[in-house]
Amino acid sequence: IRKFRDDFSRYQTVELPSEANKRVRASTAARNSGPGISDEARQEANANSTRRPKILNISTYKFHSLADYPAFIRLRSRLTEPVLSLYLQGELEHRLVKRLYARTNKRSVARQIAKRVRRIERARLTCQRRLKQHKAGHVVHREKGRFKRLYIPRFLYPANIGPHTCFQNFIPKLQAHLLGRRLNRKFDGDNHDDFTHDDINSVSIRGQKIYRVATCQVNYTTYDDRRDFDTINSSTHPDIMVYSQDDNRETEKFWHARVLGIYHAKVSTSHPGAASQAIERMHFLFVRWYGAEPGWQSGFRRAQLPKVGFVKHEPDFDNFAFGFLDPGQVLRGCHLIPVFRAGLTDELLPYPSKIARQIDESKTEDWVNFYVNIFVDRDMVMRYYGGGLGH
């Protein structure tokens, strides 16, 4: 510090403009309170308006006691964390009072400061309540919006489905998905080929009703170990990402899907392998899957973004283009950029579908490919690059 003081003396430093203005205002107010202003007083005011030199002064108690700080910290570290936090808060509380004092009109100061302190405290309590609702990483999800009741018979008959081919086998696939979760099966793409007809029918949806909502809030932990959330909306922000279940290391680390609907229902099962056969409210997403572009290689070394495209709909076979997903499997939302050079096609879904194309219902075609924007924010970059503390 002494060396810095010696080097610092070679530079010409002056006080801040705010400090100079404050000093001039104070001196002017003191002179105006007198009977009159002389020419000598005006000259003195002009001289005071110039910014005075400012040097580093280490002859203060703060620098004198600097060597005692480490010993004091070790002494105070024996205190419990709540007591230590209260002690430190009390030490810093004078800063708040000084900051709030500058916002008053210098009349009834204590009353104005107390009113602002109450506002800050109410805002802090509101923030704490919101954090408690969003606690526990990306596993907890909160759905927002009005419920829209949908009856199961609507999905059982082709005449009710209309041109929305994505609803083919909607109820049997939903029952298989819900049964897999009630059996605590590991997510592997929602393939349950070993389920028999009796197993699927063991799942019962109470009242034959499922409920649809507009948005779903997905909580996750960022790369720097902070809490954040994405709001998934099937009409405006529908694209999501989950961990890939492929064992091949050469494949992409994430799977991507487009959310077509956000639902919940009260579900029970009579399957003997279920941990509980009681009625339970379960949340699920109806999605349209993206698949990785065959032969495309991406990565930081290749300087190429990951490329995906919608899975082709094959009505003659089991429809793997659409499926269900547990909201707890969703990592966060993602940003996909259409590959405009590849153009549009109707081969991936050769039927008009307002459900599958909610972003632009007037279109009857899909983009052939999409680039995954891994640079949409810092958290997304670290998910692909690796090394994030919160990941």
Q: What is the pLDDT of residue 317?
A: 57
Would you list the DSSP string of 49-79?
A: TSPPB------SHHHHTGGGHHHHHHHHTTS
Q: Tell me the average pLDDT across 116-134.
A: 81
Rounded CA-CA distance 261/265 in Å is 13
Q: What is the pLDDT of residue 137?
A: 47
Percent of the chain having pLDDT more than 90?
27
Percent of the chain having pLDDT more than 70?
79
Q: What is the pLDDT of residue 139?
A: 43
Whether pLDDT at 66 is above 90 = no
Whether pLDDT at 166 is above 90 = no
Whether pLDDT at 199 is above 80 = yes
How many CB atoms lie under 10 A from the CB of residue 304? 12
304 beta partners: 299
Task: Tell me which residue has tokens 């941990």.
Answer: 275
Determine the 3-state secondary structure of 198 from DSSP. Answer: helix
Query: Shortest CA distance to 238 belongs to which of 379, 336, 371?
Result: 336
> What does the pLDDT look like over 268-303, one tens digit per residue?
999 988 888 889 999 999 999 999 998 898 889 899
**Alpha carbon separation from 81 to 44, 88, 94, 356 (Å, rounded):** 55, 10, 21, 53
Least confident span in 86-95, 132-141, 149-158, 219-228: 132-141
> What does the pLDDT look like over 317-376, one tens digit per residue?
567 889 999 999 999 999 999 999 999 998 888 777 777 887 776 678 899 999 999 999
